[in-house]
């Protein structure tokens, strides 16, 4: 079987490992995570890496990234607890969710977390009360929704003027105004979106310097790409362009730069192995062949919703004539259709039990899969490593 995402050795490891495993399952290759981490830090030698745990919270991935020196972006106290159980120090964590219960802020603070994202007055007041003296950074809104395959704007972040007011309030309430963050949208195909976002951050820094607040940090979030069916630049091109944008706006400035990669670090390490349950047509002369799999939107492939993310796919039945198909999941929900517009081609003699390997599925699959929808269990996940 031919694929163009993984190294041949990693692909062989995964296929051999999966051979006797029940499907659907995700197989993660740790060596690929190490390779992606190395590529990322080569492309971004000027940035501290905070892995966005939400992308894949598998303990083996977290341990592997910890050994490589990564820090961690956490979204909840549940992720915090998980990292604590794995022995990760709280000074390696940033609480990046702008939506937090008071009790959760207090718990994180008690545990030693002292770096928090925020984007509104009520959250700043909660932070001042339940995490006094902590460092805060304000998330700003950015452009880029149209060119991100999984946009993240609108719900999070505030306008530049409000960011300035919040930093002033944070100082007044005894917090440490630390920096500004943004996220240009996940799987962001337009590198230029970082240019505009960085310029906005520089504007905020300058305005605050007038009030004698000298911010130290820019957190550029995630958005770096993984290898899906759509074209994109490689990670080195992202690093080079973003460095140029930073130099243009902050060349003369002491600056701590953070990134919070999720997808770009772990997506390519995962292969979701699925099986065909059924192949049918709606009438004898229908052009459309429907292929129903044992995995669908609710079993881990939710990012295929609206066909936002199009995963590369390999079928284990290689020979024979191919034809385009509609691909759907196994649940009794009519929304559970994976691909109808984006046409994958599969052999005409495809039948029950044939395996489809979905590549680049290491991010946002297990963490999204439902726990019991239609009785199906959460997506089973395994880890393989070299040697």
Contact residues: ligand PLP, CB under 6 A: 52, 54-55, 73, 96, 152, 183, 186, 221-224, 260-264
* Residue with Cβ nearer ligand PLP (220 or 293): 220
Q: Tokens at residue 140, please? A: 């700003």
Q: What are phi and psi of 79, to 5 degrees?
A: -65, -40
In the complex, least distance from residue 323 CB atom to ligand PLP, rounded to whole angstroms: 34
* Residue with Cβ nearer ligand PLP (71 or 263): 263
In the complex, least distance from residue 98 CB atom to ligand PLP, rounded to whole angstroms: 8
* Residue with Cβ nearer ligand PLP (55 or 242): 55
* The 3-state secondary structure of 217-264, one letter per residue: EEECCCCCCCCCCCCCCCHHHHHHHHHHHHHHHHCCCCCEEEECCCHH
CA-wise closest residue to 376 among 313, 311, 312, 301 = 301
Q: Tokens at residue 96, please? A: 């990046």
Q: Report the residue number whose CB is nearest to ligand PLP.
A: 222
Determine the Cα–Cα distance for residues 228 and 359; give it in Å rounded to an integer. Answer: 8
In the complex, least distance from residue 117 CB atom to ligand PLP, rounded to whole angstroms: 7
In the complex, least distance from residue 181 CB atom to ligand PLP, rounded to whole angstroms: 8
* Residue with Cβ nearer ligand PLP (225 or 299): 225
The alpha-carbon radius of gyration of the chain (Å, integer) is 22
In the complex, least distance from residue 264 CB atom to ligand PLP, rounded to whole angstroms: 5
Determine the Cα–Cα distance for residues 339 and 325; give it in Å rounded to an integer. Answer: 8
CA-wise closest residue to 150 among 267, 256, 41, 34 = 267
Instruction: Please state at what angle helix 121-130 crosses helix 160-172, rounded to 10 degrees.
Output: 20
Q: What angle do CA 310, 156, 213 make, to 5 degrees?
A: 130
In the complex, least distance from residue 262 CB atom to ligand PLP, rounded to whole angstroms: 3
* Residue with Cβ nearer ligand PLP (226 or 273): 226
Q: Tokens at residue 230, please? A: 């759509």
In the complex, least distance from residue 333 CB atom to ligand PLP, rounded to whole angstroms: 24
* Residue with Cβ nearer ligand PLP (224 or 314): 224
* Residue with Cβ nearer ligand PLP (119 or 249): 119
Bridge partner list, 381: 26
């Amino acid at each position: 079987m031919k694929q163009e995402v993984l190294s041949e050795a990693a692909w062989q490891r995964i296929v051999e490992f999966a051979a006797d495993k029940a499907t659907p399952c995700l197989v993660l290759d740790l060596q690929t995570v190490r390779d992606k981490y190395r590529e990322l830090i080569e492309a971004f030698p000027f940035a501290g890496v905070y892995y966005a745990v939400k992308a894949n919270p598998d303990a083996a991935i977290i341990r592997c990234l910890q050994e490589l020196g990564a820090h961690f972006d956490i979204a909840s106290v549940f992720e915090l607890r998980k990292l604590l159980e794995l022995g990760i120090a709280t000074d390696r964590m940033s609480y990046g969710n702008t939506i937090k219960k008071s009790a959760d802020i207090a718990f994180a603070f008690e545990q030693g977390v002292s770096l928090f994202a925020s984007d509104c007055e009520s959250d700043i007041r909660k932070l001042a009360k339940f995490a006094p003296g902590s460092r805060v950074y304000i998330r700003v809104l950015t452009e880029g929704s149209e060119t991100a395959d999984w946009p993240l704007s609108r719900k999070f972040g505030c306008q530049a003027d409000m960011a300035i007011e919040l930093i002033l309030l944070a100082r007044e309430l005894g917090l440490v105004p630390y920096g500004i963050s943004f996220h240009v949208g996940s799987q962001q195909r337009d590198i230029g979106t970082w240019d505009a976002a960085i310029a906005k951050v520089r504007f905020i820094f300058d305005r605050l310097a007038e009030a004698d607040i000298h911010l130290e940090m820019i957190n550029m979030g995630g958005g770096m790409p993984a290898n899906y069916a759509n074209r994109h630049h490689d990670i080195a091109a992202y690093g080079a362009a973003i460095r140029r944008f930073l130099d243009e706006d902050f060349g003369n400035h002491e600056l701590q730069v953070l990134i919070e990669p999720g997808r770009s670090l772990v997506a390519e390490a995962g292969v979701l192995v699925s099986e065909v349950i059924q192949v049918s047509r709606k009438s004898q002369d229908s052009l459309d062949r429907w292929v129903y799999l044992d995995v669908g939107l609710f079993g881990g492939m939710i990012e295929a919703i609206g066909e936002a993310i199009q995963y590369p796919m390999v079928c284990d039945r290689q020979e024979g004539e191919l034809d385009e198909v509609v691909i759907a999941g196994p649940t009794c929900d009519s929304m559970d259709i994976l691909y109808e517009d984006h046409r994958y081609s599969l052999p005409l003699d495809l039948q029950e039990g044939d395996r489809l390997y979905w590549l680049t599925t290491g991010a946002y699959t297990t963490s999204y899969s439902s726990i019991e929808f239609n009785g199906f269990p959460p997506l089973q996940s395994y880890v393989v490593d070299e040697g």
